[in-house]
Structure 1
Amino acid sequence: MADTVEHAAQTPDVEQPYAALGVKDDEYARIREILGRRPTSAELAMYSVMWSEHCSYKSSKVHLRKFGELSQDTPRGPLLAGIGDNAGVVDIGQGYAVTFKAESHNHPSFVEPYQGAATGVGGIVRDILAMGARPIGVMDSLRFGPLDESDTRRVLPGVVAGVGGYGNCLGLPNIGGEVQFHESYLGNPLVNALCVGVLRHEDLHFAKATGVGNQVIMFGAATGGDGIGGASILASETFDEDGPAKRPSVQVGDPFMEKLLIECTLELFQAGIINGIQDFGAAGISCATSELASAGDGGMFVNLDLVPLRDPNLAPEEILMSESQERMMAVVEPANVDRFMEICAKWDVQATVVGEVIEGDRLIIQWHGETIVDVDPKTVAHEGPVYERPYHRPAWLDAVNADRAEDLPHDNSPEALTSAILTILGHGNIADKTWVTEQYDRYVRGNSVLAQPEDSGMLRIDEETGLGIALALDANSRFSYLNPYLGAQLSLAESYRNVAVTGAEPVAITDCLNFGSPEDPEVMWQFAEAVLGLVDGCRELGVPVTGGNVSLYNQTATAPILPTPTVGVLGVIDNVATRLRSGFAHPGDAILLLGETREELSGSIWASALHDHLGGMPPAVSLEAEKALAAVMGEASRRGLLSSAHDVSEGGLAVALAESAFRAGLGFAVTVPEGDPTVALFSESAARAVVSLSGADVEAFEALCAEKGVPVTRLGEVTGEPELEFVGLLTLGLEEALSAWKAPIPAAMA
């Protein structure tokens, strides 16, 4: 017999397993206070998943509110949708809008790497679809333990196969991202997926249940037992040394069903018969019903008996909590239901009316003719607990910051510098990621203009005008460990710069904030500082935060991951034909370094790869310098002054030059600026780029840089020789350098 609302009112003293569902004592008391009685088991299931850390942001809300204080205007106009919606929507001109967002699927990807990563892609794609947009591309930011660890060999191939398998089946190009390695991710990999979609302004849709009498329709896959409490509970717990303390089943994805669902939903939008729509993400039906109802102008009635099930033995609580994939919920006027069903049948997508919008402000759910849920949906979806977690700066950080990498020995002999370059090129975080990216389809749909291994991905939006967008997804967790405020700003700056060096104008950001347990005051301080860094950084750059994701409890036992605020930046380019590539293109071109190099080696790949060192303070941040550099790159792109452009970041100038040479197999001869060669080659000072251009354009380009206040240093030229020549210091064979760069990941995965 189901635990009905009437039964709950009559049995106030029944013991309920709320702690096993992740509900704290005070939260359970608050639920009873809201309802004026004990919750039914179905209501308890709903509150437990919707009030989980993953769904309610209960530990991060107080800090995330600062993003709302930022201007909601992009350099191209006001946001069309922002924080609080399924995804941010940006006006990019010509009647087009772009929606983009990043989400995490970290813990499920450790438990079951393939399905965890695959359903992470599927979930973020449906978020984009729910805004009325056609998904047109994906990206991912992945973090794993050291390359030589056996568990990395378990997790990395599964995650990559899941990301590629799902995205490839959907026919979505994977245009960029990053793969990084550090011991802190060994028991807790990070899988952050981003999706971008395009729509016309008039096609924008929101998740609101409006119009009393309108029908509530579930469409897509049937509901099964997979993923019950999956993302919502699994992502709200700390792992112990032996893996997750709770292992709810990870969601199972069916990308072919999702492909049908995408095309079906887009035709439903085109037919103009959807009044409100919500995808099923974490928390399943609990989320879709409560969020639609709370955002609308009435209540909602749902008959759980009508929900199509893959497993007829599911209890009502399990149906409410199931995170089965490839499902959507729509609100449709009664006169349009038949047409809705026709379109779904055409695409072989199952669709069922399960309820309707009702008068009042209650969400009422029945099972076998009895009411098992009677709640105010706002209390489920938006009025969960808000914790002001205590936080303080770690006492150990003083010693870490005092342990400067700048004080480490510098061996500037030709042999040592040659060895250093080869070691750094072979470091997991620098090494060639082709083993990963060749598993992704980067060019399907025919609009990929730039894709990995370029600094950022670029997609053409309009064939006639060439209007396009660029996207980068970056995080520097080493810098964030040394100083989370500056580290978050440096991650923002790198993503912004990666978009700018393609010639696109950065206009908006999304973020995915990955941290350890919020119950640790030191972790909470890292989180608060990173948020503040992003808020201040976005304010200075003049770009809004359109939305994002928080992932907490990323730690194994008491060891948290390095703080990892991942930042996605969206740029707009008026004509993709003017885009800049990162590889040297023509022998004889001049090579210039833009920006100022300082002695900034702390947190660098040089310190990590050569000295196994992580200490000191990260590089200085100058967002004014980043804006000036972006202005130069945009203007140079439009005027056709440059042959190539590559940002300088991880690994410093040596890596930027080598990677520029690798693209087309063109060597170079450069004179390193005066001073300490180790600093010149490996410093990771920000706001820098390496460009190549015809000698005939150097004067005009230098004048542009002078006008914008960007320092320029002439380094040398591109040669046709298979050599990386640092004049007066060392000469390295192009093939030897390329081999060092290409070898590590294939060797580790062999």
Structure 2
Amino acid sequence: MTLDTVKNAEQTPEADQPWSELGLKADEYARIREILGRRPTGAELAMYSVMWSEHCSYKSSKVHLKQFGEKKPDSDAMLVGIGENAGVVDVGQGYAVTFKVESHNHPSYIEPYQGAATGIGGIVRDILAMGARPVAVMDPLRFGAADHPDTRRVLPGIVAGIGGYGNCLGLPNIGGEVVFDACYQGNPLVNALCVGVMKHEDIHLAQASGAGNKVILYGARTGGDGIGGVSVLASETFDATGPAKRPAVQVGDPFQEKLLIESTLEIFAEKLVLGIQDLGGAGLSCATSELASAGSGGMRIELDTVPLRDNTLSPEEILMSESQERMCAIVEPGKVARFLEICEKWDVIATVIGEVTEGERLEIFWHGELVVDVPPRSVAHDGPTYNRPYARPSWQDALQADAPTAERLARPSNGEELKAALLAVAGSPNQASKSWITDQYDRYVIGNTVLATPEDSGMIRIDEETNLGVSVATDGNGRFTKLDPYTGAQLALAEAYRNVAAGGAKPLAVSDCLNFGSPEDPDVMWQFAEATRGLADACLVLGTPVTGGNVSLYNQTGETAIHPTPVVAVLGVIDDVTRRTPIGFAEEGQLVYLLGDTADELGGSAWSQVAHNHLGGLPPKVDLERERLLGDILIAASRDGMIDAAHDLSDGGLAQALVESCLKGGNGARLIVPAGLDPFVFLFSESAGRAIVSIPRSEELRFNDMCGARGLPATRIGVVDGDTLEIQGQFTVSLAELTDAHTGVIEALLA
């Protein structure tokens, strides 16, 4: 086969090219020809196809994502925002923290273990590329029906991949979510988050500047795995026949990644790099074009110098490969020898593959022949922008009208029925203990984990002398967002914000992973537009800027889309992790208080799903100012020693929170239903802006005075006591019964 060079492309303008097979539309191919003034070479076509894919270019979503910049709240903490590998925030004492959440959904459905493992590997490298040492990971997961055979296929492999890769890297997995719903049957969601820590002066950016500076590719050899990878897989829907694209899934090597991390951190410590980029989605196509585009010049690459583990790979395949554990660095000539020396010390392959040039072109050569000659920005940043049509779905009004009222859905009417409902919700797959999953993750490696699953948030100590720490929570309720995308996205942010505050940390910033169906469906695009608008508006009120994240579209099989699922991660800071607040009722005799207002809000609730398999009505109302006030109270009470336990109220309402706080602390509680409140609503409403706390009796007056002065409703509902959970006048259930209902559920379903 004759090499397709730039010269050959100029001489053969009408040559057939597989642009459609590579995922490009006719108008996109025409635009590439217009940019270049000729047809693209095969290598150029490969680069444009992966970089202009939905996953890499955000071509359907960026018109909506710009709201995160337009509505960005003022924040003294923001150091690096949207546009880099990950956002960076100032957490005090000279420390900066970087964090980001991304998706690896489609690869994980096709090849569960490697898809999930390389999802962890990729997000860790994003954090590393910012100049930080990765310190923790989290994994928000969504699966199909818990009892479906395909859930038994994908869940164990995904969990094993996350645990296997993260554990080998020595990174604690401190939180996340596991949600089951039939809508995810053909499209499980595997979102991965990583947190990294550095000093302010250690921040690195992805840019290539300075003519003559060298481009060094280091890490693993480039192979045939992952050709097309997430850049293509995540930019189309699955058909109904199921997995058939295994070669496109990357293969990970966590031991190689560990060497890459340590060598990179040593390279950073010696200040040997001017710019750096990890190789993730779109591989070398992304790394070279983005580095050159963000820099001040051009770039020349000798592609045949790239270390390969398959010598039959073509230039196109090398550029498209998403082989893992690779980084690209820009290094001054005088520092190259030391860079290579450090890599050799860590047994990491490092090769000079090119240099920064004076011009404005990205030129790639293959054995002396020019195969790519493009403006790098046209590849990396100036891809298509679509204003996809969107409209409120014709079925939305009927869905919202189908509210779970007492007239439509039978509710428990006596104590025994309430007890049965509590046990059913606590023992449902979504609310049951996830210990079978989380026990496969090392949550405490390194020794700085302060809070981890099943706590409301994960918390890590980042300075062992001062006890400065950071906290992260991820949340997202696809059922709420299906009912009302604008409100559902705000509820996701509010819950993550509340979870961070409940642990005692001050929320600072947001990263998000927006998981939706096909953007070519106007119903889906309306959901996306409303959700992004809702999230941007809520971030402005709560003062938590979006620092970055990911959009994952085409999450559907055939015509069946997932529920719109915006997963929101909130990062907070705590001055002293020894003052953090856990969820467990650990001290008998302490008083239990309910904070916030409870209304009859059951739309999209856990109870409606468990008892009636029902989805309809409106989600709980959102009062963002109340969320902010509740957060301030929880943070102050934790800091000042007024509370010993705190737990937000969300999925499953007060009933679920009580089960979890009692079982985690090993103590029961006696509670009374407040006057005028229906016992069922008291237990199962999912009204937002609420939490329960346990208070030492000596602190009750001070706590009440604080809540009263700030205007936060605080109702004493009981006391921590004994080995039963008692709702006076209704029912009593032993902790042993709760344990039996709440544990062993997941492993039984997978057996």
TM range (shorter): over 0.9
Secondary structure in 2 aligned to 1:241? coil
- Percent same amino acid at aligned positions? 65
1:406, CA displacement in angstroms?
Answer: 2.4
Distance 1:73 1:662 in 2: 41
> Contact conserved, 1:72 with 1:78, CA < 8 A, in 2?
no
Equivalences for residues 656-735 of structure 1 within 5 A: 656-674=657-675, 675-719=677-721, 721-735=722-736
Letter in 1 for 2:655: A
Rounded Cα–Cα distance in structure 1 between residues aligned with 2:142 and 2:44: 36
2:174, 2:77 → 1: CA distance?
26
CA shift, 1:664, in A, is 2.4
Letter in 1 for 2:560: A
Q: 1:455 and 1:623 mapped to 2: Cα distance?
A: 19
In the alignment, is the contact (CA less than 8 A) between 1:229 and 1:248 conserved in 2?
A: no
Contact 1:234 1:247 in 2 (8 A): no
* Equivalences, count: 747
- Cα separation, 2, equivalents of 1:431 and 1:443: 22
Q: Return 59-68 or 730-739, whichever deviates more.
A: 730-739
Counterpart residue number, 2:628: 627
Counterpart in the other structure of 2:209: 210
Q: How does 1:213-612 map to 2 (within 5 A)?
A: 213-244=212-243, 248-407=247-406, 408-612=409-613
Q: Distance in 1 between matches of 2:636 and 2:522?
A: 46
Unpaired stretches in structure 2, ≥5 consecutive residues: none
Amino acid paired to 2:270: A
Structure 1: 5+ residue stretches without partners: none
Alignment-derived partner of residue 48 in structure 1: 49
Give the secondary structure class of the aligned counterpart of 1:240.
Answer: coil
Q: CA deviation at 1:302?
A: 0.2
Whole-angstrom distance in 2 between the partners of 1:257 and 1:92 = 31
Secondary structure at the aligned position of 1:216 is classed as strand
The CA distance in 2 between the partners of 1:325 and 1:11, in whole Å, is: 35
SS of equivalent to 2:621: coil
CA distance in 1, matches of 2:695, 2:245: 57
C-alpha distance in structure 2 between counterparts of 1:166 and 1:650, whole Å = 30
Asked whether the 8 Å contact 2:411–2:680 carries over to 1, the reply is yes
3-state DSSP of counterpart to 2:550: strand
CA distance in structure 1 between the aligned counterparts of 2:277 and 2:365, rounded to whole angstroms: 21
- Asked if the contact 1:173–1:440 (Cα under 8 Å) also holds between the matched residues in 2, the reply is yes
- 1:695 offset after TM fit, Å? 1.1
Aligned counterparts of 2:607 and 2:77: Cα–Cα separation in 1: 42
Cα pair 2:504 2:634 within 8 Å, conserved: yes
Aligned amino acid, residue 488 of structure 1: A
Distance 1:251 1:28 in 2: 27
1:740 aligns with 2:744: no
Q: Partner of 1:285: helix, strand, or coil?
A: helix
Q: Could you tell me how far apart the structure 1 residues matched to 2:195 and 2:738 are?
A: 35
Aligned AA (1:739): D
Distance in 2, Cα, partners of 1:467 & 1:54 = 36
SS at match of 1:38: coil
Q: 1:103 is matched with which residue?
A: 102
Note the C-alpha offset of 1:128: 0.2
Q: Which amino acid aligns with 2:389?
A: P
Deviation, 1:80, is 1.0
Counterpart amino acid of residue 715 in structure 1 = I
- 1:162 and 1:672 map into 2 onto residues whose CA distance is 45
TM-fit CA distance, 1:639? 0.7
Partner of 2:189: 190
**Residue 24 (structure 1) aligns with:** 25
Write the letter of the residue equivalent to 1:157.
P
Deviation at 1:70, TM superposition (A): 2.8
**Alpha-carbon distance in 2 for matches of 1:533, 1:4:** 48
Q: Which moved more, 1:422-431 or 1:126-135?
A: 422-431
**Partner Cα distance (1:560, 1:102) in 2:** 22
SS at match of 2:642: coil
Structure 1 position 635, deviation (Å)? 0.8
Q: Is the 8 A contact 2:72 2:539 kept in 1?
A: no
- Contact map agreement 1:591 1:715 (CA 8 A) in 2: yes
- How far apart, in 1, do the equivalents of 2:72 and 2:183 lie? 35
**Do the aligned partners of residues 72 and 209 (structure 1) sit closer, same or farther apart at CA in structure 2, a change above 3 Å counting?**
farther
In the TM superposition, what is the alpha-carbon distance from 1:464 to its structure 2 partner?
1.1
Measured against aligned partners, the alpha-carbon deviations of 1:644-703 in whole angstroms (never above 9, x if no partner) come to: 000011000111111100012201100022322111100000010010011111111011
Q: 2:179 is matched with which residue?
A: 180
Q: Per the alignment, in what secondary structure is the counterpart of residue 537 of structure 1?
A: helix
Match of 2:3 in 1: 2
Which range is displaced more, 24-33 or 402-411? 402-411
CA distance in 1, matches of 2:553, 2:591: 47
Report the AA paired with residue 418 of structure 2: L
**Separation of aligned partners in 2, 1:636 and 1:691:** 10
Shift of 1:73: 3.7
Q: Distance in 2 between matches of 1:733 and 1:406?
A: 30
Residues 277 and 331 of structure 1 are in contact (CA less than 8 Å); yes or no, is this contact kept in structure 2? yes
State whether structure 2 residue 85 is matched by structure 1 residue 86.
yes
Shift of the alpha carbon at 1:23? 0.4
Asked if structure 1 preserves the Cα contact closer than 8 Å seen for 2:110 and 2:244, the reply is: no
Distance 1:188 1:543 in 2: 30
How far residue 72 of structure 1 moved from its aligned partner, in angstroms, is 5.6
Per-residue CA deviations over 1:153-208 (Å, capped at 9, x if unaligned) read: 01000000000100000000000010000001011000000000000000000000
Structure 1 range deviating more: 612-621 or 729-738: 729-738
How far does residue 245 in structure 1 lie from its aligned partner after superposition?
Answer: 6.8
Query: After superposition, where does 1:633-652 map in structure 2 within 5 Å?
Result: 633-652=634-653
Indicate conservation of the 8 Å contact 2:416/2:730, yes or no.
no
Equivalent-residue separation in structure 2 for 1:589 and 1:183 (angstroms): 41
Q: Does 1:146 align with 2:145?
A: yes
Q: How far is the alpha carbon of 1:577 from its aligned partner?
A: 0.8
Q: Which segment drifts farther, 315-324 or 243-252? A: 243-252
Aligned to 2:336, the other structure's residue is in SS state helix
Amino acid at match of 2:688: A
What CA distance in whole angstroms lies between the structure 2 residues aligned with 1:600 and 1:292?
A: 50
Q: Per-residue displacement from partner, 1:77-124 (whole Å, max 9, x unpaired)?
A: 241111001100000010000000000000000000000000000000
Q: CA offsets per residue over residues 461-480 of structure 1, 9 Å max, x none?
A: 11111110000011011100
Tell me the secondary structure at the aligned position of residue 158 of structure 1.
helix
Contact 1:101-1:510 within 8 A present in 2 as well: yes
Contact 1:72/1:79 (<8 A) preserved: no
Give 1:97's aligned amino acid.
A
Superposed displacement of residue 243, structure 1? 1.7
8 Å Cα contact 1:481-1:487 kept in structure 2:
yes
Shift of 1:244: 5.0
Counterpart of 1:666 in 2: which secondary structure?
A: coil
Contact 2:51 2:282 in 1 (8 A): yes
Contact 2:214–2:332 under 8 Å retained in 1 = yes
Query: Helix, strand or coil for the counterpart of 2:21?
Result: helix
Pairwise CA distance, 1:411 = 2.3
**Cα pair 2:595 2:714 within 8 Å, conserved:** yes
Q: After TM superposition, give the deviation of residue 247 of structure 1 in Å.
A: 5.1
Q: Distance in 2 between matches of 1:587 and 1:701?
A: 18
CA distance in 2: counterparts of 1:739 and 1:374, whole angstroms: 65
